[in-house]
């Protein structure tokens, strides 16, 4: 399909307005070609990136399928206007293969890295280029300090954030809530009371449980569970403990973290509360995270805890809206009036060389032009403050963007993504699956995870 | 060895005539060997071995709703067939992926040259180890054999580093995948072909030498023709191994749409649509078609195939 | 190398439009590569044949073994040496002795990995070979042999990724009371049992992964052994039955000794493949739920978790585990050479 020419006109219009911010000095030398006759229509917004005819930039990432299509589409106009060919490779082996390729001296030009922990390893290996001035200028303008900090190591800024997601949403069916007279809970206790109230329904429908949870995700099985723990730690013990926990100063076996496990256990280990539509608690580990929330649609469960990107998992034809088929509320604070903390994730763009074409694409990806273009294609959001929430394809996306852009929000990056890989991408995952599986209790699992901390 | 040794002449006949086994006498003996129980056991094994693939085949033709809610064995109660899954798998392409056809092409472009390279180099080496006496021959052969255990995962970085030297610079091309696959295929290929070639009767080889044949002549005129069955069977295996590989292609071709093989696309499906069984089953079924065709078309060589020579203890 | 290898950069828009041109240029590139390769080999042979009598044998020997050895030295020996070196040093190349091995042999997770690998190696080669041999004997020269052979061989033709999909589907779990869509759980339900999470409950999940590998390798064993069985001279069977031997006795006294060589080859090949097993574990459980094996653990330690030295140590453990097999094969080879 010839997608190049079906880019939404609106995106272009937005793109045309906003380039002021990224006319940093560093890409001056590459912009000389802009005056060449090869410029296509609608390229005014891209003039600053220069002409790089025949250049290819390889972008390496975890992103696949629909999201990858959208990502590639978001580059189409850029490719047209700059003459750069973006060679996109998305693979689920990314997290291993990026290490192989860096180690072998065969890195891609750009990599989209989903975990700051991994980014840090690559930076320490000396492979990642410090961000060019134009990129840093964009980030200074469009991102908060804390986002910039995730891409900064030893006071050098390396990687600009790309997309983001807000975690800790609890998905529910507004119809289900209305029919049964449930209220969206304002505190954790209210949520537990609601859960208890809901549990009675399993008398009529033996498959029904208040919650449905799915942990299965290939070799990353268990990550949805880590999201739960992180949300609870942030709400129960506050941002400071959260940061110390990430840094390894608060151990897993400390009371705060154990308490979070036990709080989660009140839901996840209770056969009366889980796992609607799939069975009992033991079915959590074999239910894929993609399917985890779907029983809401069949009326087999009422609540599902998952990030904003779960929107993409609902079958075609499902309306995601406050008055639609499904909607979500943020996991409530422990007590009313607690600071509004949210956890979330994001991706970072690391460059492995400083060719003009690479720099041009890297700069483009950190611009608000790109953010608006990509977000308007649907499915994702960004914490880029130059992003117009109206461009988000869905109400949940808009809500998430507003939360991200709200200066009052205490945003905390997904703890497991920040921890060393041996914990955050290994023992925390396996630990929590064992724990849900019943093969380890809270004491056992937390000391096990501590033992793997490098 | 207490093992009975067949008369030389018969082994010659074996190596030459592929269908020579179908003698009436053999059939008579055989009849008495096969009992009803054995036949029944064979059929049970065959069924057990086929059920998974059979279920896959059925599921790949069922509509999404049915696949996700009912088992394929209830197909008669939940009747419904569709080609949609194949339609999606074969013809759908997005901005970041091509249609399955180009992955097919890539798989062929990777597999065919590799198979030929491995066979040619392994045949030559196996011949040398078996029939050219030189100091350290056994020692070298054992080393080659032992190399089978080197996990190719550990070879990825060093080899990729070499491919990135300025004067080579082939990483990200098919050439890199060919070379890598050839290297990883050699130890087993040399080992298996050596077993076969070393069993060629000494008289035959000696007769050639008396006629004044050089090694290259002996190799091309005697060893190659006699090894056709072994070459054919090894070709099948080599083809299958390379066709079904995921990791080597991913690392050395860079994984772009231009070079990615079918398995990579399949893995993407499995990774990203882990619960879309209707698509996964169709994709898996598509990916086994070529290997099956290869197997069926070369199957007759298995009658006197690989290792037919190495029957002595 | 060759300019044909560099496929012209495809424009995003036209990925499907120029499918045939693109396919043609790729396949053409492959054909050119094959032709060049064969031409070079042929020419070298031609000249080696015409080399001066003195030293001709040496030139020819070099021609025959050098290409393979050079490739192996670069692609396998050099990496193996590096791996061994890496296993006893840290990142900066300082000697750390056997620290990494100490981790491998004391860490509880690692001990599970080692235990699993041992279980795999004990079961897969024997089970695949036994079933493959039995099947080969049962169907030998029976009606429909080709079809029966193909059915069991078929899994060989399926990639590990494909096999994981097939068996993932077989093992799919739905809780009790739900319609099962995984066949094995349906069988359990039919037999009056409750559905089981085959891949998630240790220690049995390892055995269900092993089953998948046996399913694949049996085809290899069967095909090779079947070819060997056909080499057993009919006279030997005749003589044995004249002596009054039963089918079972003839199998042990005639067939098995005759195909011993093939059996050793099959067992060796499958054992090595099993030691290196990786894809099945990685795609089906990712090594979770206590199912990890050495190759999988090595891969994730070295490349995912940033512990290349531990990964290297695991690889060295693999090298060591294969030594008994090498020794056995060397002995067989020696005896064989003496016989000849």
Question: What is the domain extent for residue A383?
Answer: 52-164+345-398
User: CA-to-CA distance for C242 and C235, rounded, in angstroms?
Assistant: 10
- Which residues, in sequence order, are bridge partners of residue A412? A343
**Residue B208's pLDDT is what?**
83
User: Is residue A31 scored above 70 in pLDDT?
Assistant: no
Distance of CA B309 to the CA centre of its chain: 20
Same-domain status, A302 and A360: no
Read off the tokens for A201.
């329904």
**Residue B306's pLDDT is what?**
54
Contact C288 A76 (CB under 8 A): no
State yes or no: cis peptide before B34, omega within 30 of 0. no
Residue A453, by phi and psi: left (phi above 0), alpha (psi -120 to 50) or beta?
beta
Out of C175, C288, C305, the one facing A425 most closely (by C-beta) is C305
Which of B67, B84, B95, B153 should we substitute to test contact with A (largest number of A Cβ atoms within 10 Å)? B95
Same-domain status, A288 and A419: yes
Contact A437 C11 (CB under 8 A): no
The answer to the question of residue C93 being in a domain is no
Contact A430 C174 (CB under 8 A): no
The answer to the question of residue A26 being in a domain is no
Give B25 to chain C, closest Cα distance, Å: 7
pLDDT, one tens digit per residue, over A148-184 is: 999 999 999 999 999 999 999 999 999 999 999 999 9
Chain B CB contacts of C45 under 8 Å are 216, 219-220
Q: How many domains does chain A have?
A: 2
**Residue A280's pLDDT is what?**
86
Question: What is the domain extent for residue C61?
Answer: 3-87
Percent of chain A clearing pLDDT 70 (strictly above): 91
Same-domain status, C51 and C155: no
Same-domain status, A89 and A199: no
- What is the average pLDDT value for chain B, to the nearest integer? 79
**Residue A41's pLDDT is what?**
67
Last residue of some domain: C87, C121, C142? C87
Same-domain status, C265 and C173: yes
User: Is residue A268 scored above 90 in pLDDT?
Assistant: yes
Contact A101 B275 (CB under 8 A): no
**Residue B108's pLDDT is what?**
93
C-alpha torsion angle, residues A355, A357, A363, A364 (rounded to 10): -170
**Residue C201's pLDDT is what?**
84
Q: Which of A60, C249, C210 is nearest to B255 (CA)?
A: A60
Cβ neighbours of B24 (radius 10 Å): 8
Chain C CB contacts of A95 under 8 Å are 303-304
In this structure, what CATH number is given to the domain that contains residue A122?
Answer: 3.40.190.10
Q: Which of A4-13, A412-421, B107-116 is predicted with the least confidence, judged by mean pLDDT?
A: A4-13
As a residue count, chain A comes to 454
Q: Which of A261, A347, A271, A345 is nearest to A306 (CA)?
A: A345
Contact C160 B180 (CB under 8 A): no
Same-domain status, A61 and A111: yes
Inform me whether the C-beta atom of residue B63 falls under 8 Å from chain A C-beta atoms. no
Contact A207 C174 (CB under 8 A): no
pLDDT, one tens digit per residue, over C308-327 is: 899 999 999 998 988 888 88
Same-domain status, C45 and C125: no
Read off the tokens for A161.
């954030």
Chain A CB contacts of B161 under 8 Å are 103-106
Inform me whether the C-beta atom of residue B250 falls under 8 Å from chain A C-beta atoms. yes
Same-domain status, A296 and A434: yes
The answer to the question of residue A28 being in a domain is no
Same-domain status, C49 and C180: no
What is the H or E stretch that residue A329 is in?
strand A327-330
What is the H or E stretch that residue A72 is in?
helix A65-74
Q: Which of A101, A111, A114, A122 is nearest to A59 (CA)?
A: A111
What is the H or E stretch that residue C234 is in?
helix C234-242
Chain C CB contacts of A437 under 8 Å are 200-201, 289
User: CA-to-CA distance for C276 and B247, rounded, in angstroms?
Assistant: 14
Same-domain status, A117 and A195: no
User: Is residue B29 scored above 80 in pLDDT?
Assistant: no
Contact C326 B145 (CB under 8 A): yes
User: CA-to-CA distance for B171 and B120, rounded, in angstroms?
Assistant: 23
Cβ neighbours of A99 (radius 10 Å): 24
Same-domain status, A180 and A305: yes
User: CA-to-CA distance for A40 and C106, rounded, in angstroms?
Assistant: 64
Which of A72, A105, A288, A317 should we substitute to test contact with B (largest number of B Cβ atoms within 10 Å)? A105
What would the mean pLDDT of A185-192 be, rounded to a whole number? 94
Same-domain status, C143 and C190: yes
Same-domain status, C201 and C330: yes
User: CA-to-CA distance for A13 and C26, rounded, in angstroms?
Assistant: 40
Q: Where are the alpha helices (DSSP H) in B132-166?
A: 137-146, 152-163
- What is the average pLDDT value for chain A, to the nearest integer? 86
Q: Which of B201, B258, B195, B274 is nearest to B230 (CA)?
A: B195
The answer to whether C298 touches C316, Cβ cutoff 8 Å, is no
Same-domain status, C211 and C322: yes
Contact A218 C283 (CB under 8 A): yes
Between the alpha carbon of residue B101 and those of residues A3, A324, B35, B260, B271, the distances in Å are: 20, 40, 47, 11, 20
Would strands A160-166 and A341-351 be described as parallel, antiparallel, or unpaired?
A: antiparallel
Query: Which SS3 state, helix, strand or coil, does residue A217 take?
Result: strand
What would the mean pLDDT of A75-91 be, rounded to a whole number? 91
Residue B213, burial from CB neighbour count under 10 angstroms (0-12, 13-18, 19+): middle
Contact A104 B271 (CB under 8 A): no
User: CA-to-CA distance for A247 and B226, rounded, in angstroms?
Assistant: 68
Could you tell me which residues come within 8 angstroms of residue B24 by beta carbon, excluding any fewer than 6 positions away? none
Percentages helix, strand, coil for chain A (3-state, rounded to 5) are 50, 15, 35
The answer to the question of residue A372 being in a domain is yes
Give C106 to chain B, closest Cα distance, Å: 23
Q: Which of A104-113, A343-352, C33-42, C255-264 is predicted with the least confidence, judged by mean pLDDT?
A: C255-264
Contact C164 B270 (CB under 8 A): yes
The answer to the question of residue A148 being in a domain is yes
**Binding-face residues of B in 86-105 toward A, CB within 8 A:** 93-97
Last residue of some domain: C87, C116, C139? C87
**Residue B263's pLDDT is what?**
86
User: CA-to-CA distance for C156 and B142, rounded, in angstroms?
Assistant: 27
C-alpha torsion angle, residues C162, C166, C168, C174 (rounded to 10): 150
Which of A127, A212, A219, A448 should we substitute to test contact with C (largest number of C Cβ atoms within 10 Å)? A219
Could you tell me which residues come within 8 angstroms of residue C268 by beta carbon, excluding any fewer than 6 positions away? C325, C328, C329
**Binding-face residues of A in 23-42 toward C, CB within 8 A:** none
Inform me whether the C-beta atom of residue A247 falls under 8 Å from chain C C-beta atoms. no
User: CA-to-CA distance for C117 and C67, rounded, in angstroms?
Assistant: 34
The answer to whether B263 touches B253, Cβ cutoff 8 Å, is no
C-alpha torsion angle, residues A172, A178, A184, A185 (rounded to 10): -110
Same-domain status, A371 and A355: yes
CATH of domain B10-19+97-304: 1.10.3720.10
The answer to whether A346 touches A367, Cβ cutoff 8 Å, is no
Contact A3 B160 (CB under 8 A): no
CB pairs under 8 A between B and C: 406
**Residue B49's pLDDT is what?**
93
User: Is residue B71 scored above 90 in pLDDT?
Assistant: no
Percent of chain B clearing pLDDT 70 (strictly above): 83
The answer to whether B102 touches C23, Cβ cutoff 8 Å, is yes
Inform me whether the C-beta atom of residue B164 falls under 8 Å from chain C C-beta atoms. no
Chain A CB contacts of C14 under 8 Å are 2
Give B286 to chain A, closest Cα distance, Å: 19
pLDDT, one tens digit per residue, over A281-312 is: 888 988 888 888 999 998 999 999 999 888 88
**Residue A37's pLDDT is what?**
43
Inform me whether the C-beta atom of residue B302 falls under 8 Å from chain C C-beta atoms. yes
Contact A101 B94 (CB under 8 A): no
**Residue B182's pLDDT is what?**
96
Nearest CA in chain A to B269: A65
Give B112 to chain A, closest Cα distance, Å: 24
Same-domain status, A352 and A338: no
Q: Which of A283, A238, A240, A256 is nearest to A446 (CA)?
A: A256
Same-domain status, A294 and A173: yes
The answer to whether C214 touches A318, Cβ cutoff 8 Å, is no
Q: Where are the alpha helices (DSSP H) in A152-211?
A: 174-180, 188-199
> In which band, very low, low, confident or very high, does the pLDDT at B34 lie, cut at 50, 70 and 90?
low
Between the alpha carbon of residue A245 and those of residues A148, A233, A256, C161, the distances in Å are: 21, 9, 9, 38
Same-domain status, C165 and C242: yes
The answer to whether A172 touches A242, Cβ cutoff 8 Å, is no
Between the alpha carbon of residue C256 and those of residues A165, B270, C136, C145, C162, the distances in Å are: 63, 42, 12, 20, 34
**Residue C284's pLDDT is what?**
86
pLDDT in tens, chain C (340 residues): 333 333 333 333 334 457 788 888 899 999 999 999 999 999 988 888 887 877 888 888 889 999 999 999 999 999 999 999 999 988 777 888 888 999 899 988 899 999 999 999 999 999 999 999 999 998 887 778 888 888 898 888 888 888 888 898 899 888 777 788 889 999 999 998 888 888 888 889 999 999 999 999 999 899 889 888 887 888 888 888 888 888 888 888 888 988 888 898 899 999 999 998 988 898 888 888 889 999 999 988 888 888 889 999 999 999 898 888 888 888 877 776 666 5
User: Is residue A403 scored above 70 in pLDDT?
Assistant: yes
User: Is residue B303 scored above 70 in pLDDT?
Assistant: no
Q: Which of A197, B98, A439 is nearest to C22 (CA)?
A: B98
Chain B CB contacts of A71 under 8 Å are 96
The answer to the question of residue A405 being in a domain is no
Could you tell me which residues come within 8 angstroms of residue A179 by beta carbon, excluding any fewer than 6 positions away? none
Same-domain status, A327 and A419: yes
What would the mean pLDDT of A371-377 be, rounded to a whole number? 91
Read off the tokens for C47.
């000249």
Same-domain status, A332 and A357: no
Domain ranges of chain B: 10-19+97-304
Give A448 to chain C, closest Cα distance, Å: 10
Last residue of some domain: C87, C115, C133? C87
Residue B220, by phi and psi: left (phi above 0), alpha (psi -120 to 50) or beta?
alpha
Q: How many domains does chain C have?
A: 2
The answer to the question of residue C94 being in a domain is no
Chain B CB contacts of A290 under 8 Å are 274-275
> In which band, very low, low, confident or very high, does the pLDDT at B275 lie, cut at 50, 70 and 90?
low
**Residue C339's pLDDT is what?**
61
Read off the tokens for C77.
């020996």
- Which residues, in sequence order, are bridge partners of residue A342? A411
Residue B126, by phi and psi: left (phi above 0), alpha (psi -120 to 50) or beta?
alpha
In this structure, what CATH number is given to the domain that contains residue C212?
Answer: 1.10.3720.10
Out of B161, B171, B275, the one facing A290 most closely (by C-beta) is B275
Chain A CB contacts of C16 under 8 Å are 1
Instruction: List the subunits that have 3+ CB pairs under 8 angstroms with A.
Output: B, C
Read off the tokens for B60.
């790949």
């Amino acid at each position: 399909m010839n997608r190049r020419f079906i880019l939404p006109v609106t995106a272009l219009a937005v793109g045309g307005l906003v380039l002021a911010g990224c006319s940093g000095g560093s890409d001056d030398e590459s912009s000389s070609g802009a005056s060449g006759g090869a410029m296509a229509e609608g390229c005014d917004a891209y003039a600053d990136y220069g002409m790089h005819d025949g250049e290819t930039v390889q972008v390496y990432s975890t992103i696949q399928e629909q999201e990858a299509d959208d990502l590639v589409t978001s580059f189409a106009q850029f490719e047209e206007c700059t003459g750069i060919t973006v060679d996109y490779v998305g693979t689920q082996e990314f997290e291993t293969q990026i290490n192989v390729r860096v180690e072998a001296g065969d890195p891609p030009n750009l990599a989209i890295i989903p975990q700051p922990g991994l980014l840090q390893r690559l930076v320490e290996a000396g492979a990642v280029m410090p961000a060019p001035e134009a990129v840093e200028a964009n980030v200074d303008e469009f991102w908060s300090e804390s986002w910039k900090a995730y891409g900064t190591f030893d006071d050098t800024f390396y990687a600009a954030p790309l997309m983001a997601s807000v975690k800790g949403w609890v998905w529910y069916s507004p119809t289900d809530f209305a029919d049964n007279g449930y209220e969206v809970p304002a505190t954790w206790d209210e949520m537990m009371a609601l859960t208890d109230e809901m549990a009675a329904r399993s008398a009529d429908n033996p498959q029904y449980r208040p919650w449905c949870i799915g942990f299965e995700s290939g070799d990353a099985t268990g990550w949805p569970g880590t999201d739960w723990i992180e949300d609870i730690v942030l709400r129960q013990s506050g941002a400071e403990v959260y940061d110390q926990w990430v840094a390894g100063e608060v151990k897993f076996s400390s009371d705060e973290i154990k308490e979070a496990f036990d709080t989660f256990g009140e839901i996840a280990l209770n056969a009366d509360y889980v796992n609607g539509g799939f069975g009992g608690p033991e079915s959590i580990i074999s239910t894929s995270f993609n399917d985890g929330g779907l029983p809401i649609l069949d009326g087999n469960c009422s609540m599902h805890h998952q990030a904003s990107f779960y929107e993409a998992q609902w079958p075609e034809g499902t309306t995601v809206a406050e008055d639609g088929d499904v909607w979500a509320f943020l996991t409530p604070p422990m007590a009313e009036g607690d600071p509004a903390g949210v956890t979330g994730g994001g991706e970072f763009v690391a460059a492995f060389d400083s060719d003009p074409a690479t720099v041009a694409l890297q700069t483009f990806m950190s611009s608000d032009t790109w953010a608006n273009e990509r977000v308007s294609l649907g499915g994702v959001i960004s914490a880029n403050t130059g992003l117009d929430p109206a461009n988000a394809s869905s109400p949940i996306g808009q809500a998430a963007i507003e939360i991200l852009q709200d200066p009052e929000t205490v945003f905390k990056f997904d703890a497991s993504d920040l921890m060393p890989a041996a914990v955050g991408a290994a023992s925390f995952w396996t630990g929590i699956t064992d724990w849900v599986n019943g093969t380890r209790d809270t004491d056992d699992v937390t000391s096990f995870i501590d033992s793997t901390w490098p | 060895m207490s093992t009975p040794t067949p008369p030389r002449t018969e082994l010659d006949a074996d190596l030459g005539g592929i269908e020579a086994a179908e003698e009436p006498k053999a059939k008579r003996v055989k009849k008495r060997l096969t009992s009803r129980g054995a036949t029944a056991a064979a059929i049970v094994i065959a069924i057990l071995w086929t059920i998974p693939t059979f279920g896959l085949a059925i599921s790949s033709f069922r509509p999404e709703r049915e696949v996700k809610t009912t088992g394929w064995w209830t197909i008669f109660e939940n009747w419904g067939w569709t080609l949609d899954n194949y339609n999606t798998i074969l013809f759908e392409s997005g901005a970041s992926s091509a249609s399955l056809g180009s992955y097919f092409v890539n798989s062929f472009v990777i597999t065919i040259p590799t198979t030929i390279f491995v066979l040619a180099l392994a045949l030559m080496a196996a011949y040398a180890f078996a029939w050219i006496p030189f100091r350290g021959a056994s020692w070298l052969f054992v080393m080659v054999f032992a190399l089978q255990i080197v996990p190719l995962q550990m070879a990825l970085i060093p080899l990729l580093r070499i491919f990135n030297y300025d004067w080579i610079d082939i990483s990200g091309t098919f050439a890199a995948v060919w070379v890598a696959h050839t290297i990883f295929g050699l130890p087993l290929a040399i080992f298996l072909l050596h077993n076969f070639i070393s069993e060629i009767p000494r008289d035959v080889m000696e007769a050639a030498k008396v006629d004044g044949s050089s090694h290259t002549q002996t190799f091309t005129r005697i060893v190659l023709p006699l090894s056709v069955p072994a070459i054919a069977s090894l070709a099948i295996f080599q083809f299958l191994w390379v066709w079904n590989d995921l990791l080597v292609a991913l690392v050395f071709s860079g994984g772009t749409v231009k070079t990615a093989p079918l398995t990579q696309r399949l893995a993407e499906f499995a990774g990203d649509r882990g619960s879309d069984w209707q698509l996964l089953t169709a994709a898996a079924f598509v990916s086994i078609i070529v290997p099956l065709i290869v197997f069926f078309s070369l199957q007759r060589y298995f009658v006197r195939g690989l290792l037919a020579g190495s029957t002595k203890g | 190398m060759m300019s044909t290898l560099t496929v012209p950069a495809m424009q995003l828009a036209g990925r499907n439009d120029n499918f045939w041109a693109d396919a043609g240029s790729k396949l053409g590139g492959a054909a050119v590569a094959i032709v060049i390769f064969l031409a070079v080999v042929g020419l070298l042979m031609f000249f080696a044949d015409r080399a001066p009598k003195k030293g001709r044998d040496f030139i020819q020997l070099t021609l025959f073994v050098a290409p393979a050895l050079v490739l192996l030295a670069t692609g396998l020996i050099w990496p193996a040496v590096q791996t061994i070196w890496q296993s006893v040093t840290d990142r900066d190349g300082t000697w750390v002795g056997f620290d990494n091995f100490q981790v491998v042999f004391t860490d509880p997770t690692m001990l599970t990995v080692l235990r699993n690998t041992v279980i795999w190696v004990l079961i897969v080669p024997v089970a695949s070979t036994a079933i493959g041999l039995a099947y080969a004997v049962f169907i030998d020269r029976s009606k429909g042999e080709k079809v029966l052979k193909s059915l069991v061989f078929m899994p060989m033709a399926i990639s590990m990724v494909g096999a994981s999909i097939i068996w993932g589907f077989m093992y799919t779990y739905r809780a009790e009371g739900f319609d099962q869509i995984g066949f094995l759980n349906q069988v359990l339900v039919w037999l009056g049992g409750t559905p089981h999470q085959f891949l998630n409950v240790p220690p049995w999940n390892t055995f269900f992964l092993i089953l998948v590998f046996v399913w694949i390798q049996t085809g290899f064993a069967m095909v090779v052994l079947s070819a060997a069985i056909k080499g057993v001279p009919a006279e030997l069977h005749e003589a044995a039955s004249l002596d009054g031997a039963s089918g079972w006795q003839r199998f042990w006294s005639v067939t098995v000794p005759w195909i011993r060589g093939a059996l050793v080859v099959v067992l060796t090949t499958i054992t090595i493949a099993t030691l290196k097993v990786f894809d099945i574990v990685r795609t089906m459980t990712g090594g979770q739920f206590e199912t990890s094996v050495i190759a999988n653990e090595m891969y994730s330690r070295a490349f995912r978790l940033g512990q290349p030295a531990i990964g290297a140590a695991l690889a060295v453990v693999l090298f060591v585990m294969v030594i008994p097999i090498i020794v056995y094969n060397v002995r067989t080879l020696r005896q064989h050479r003496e016989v000849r």
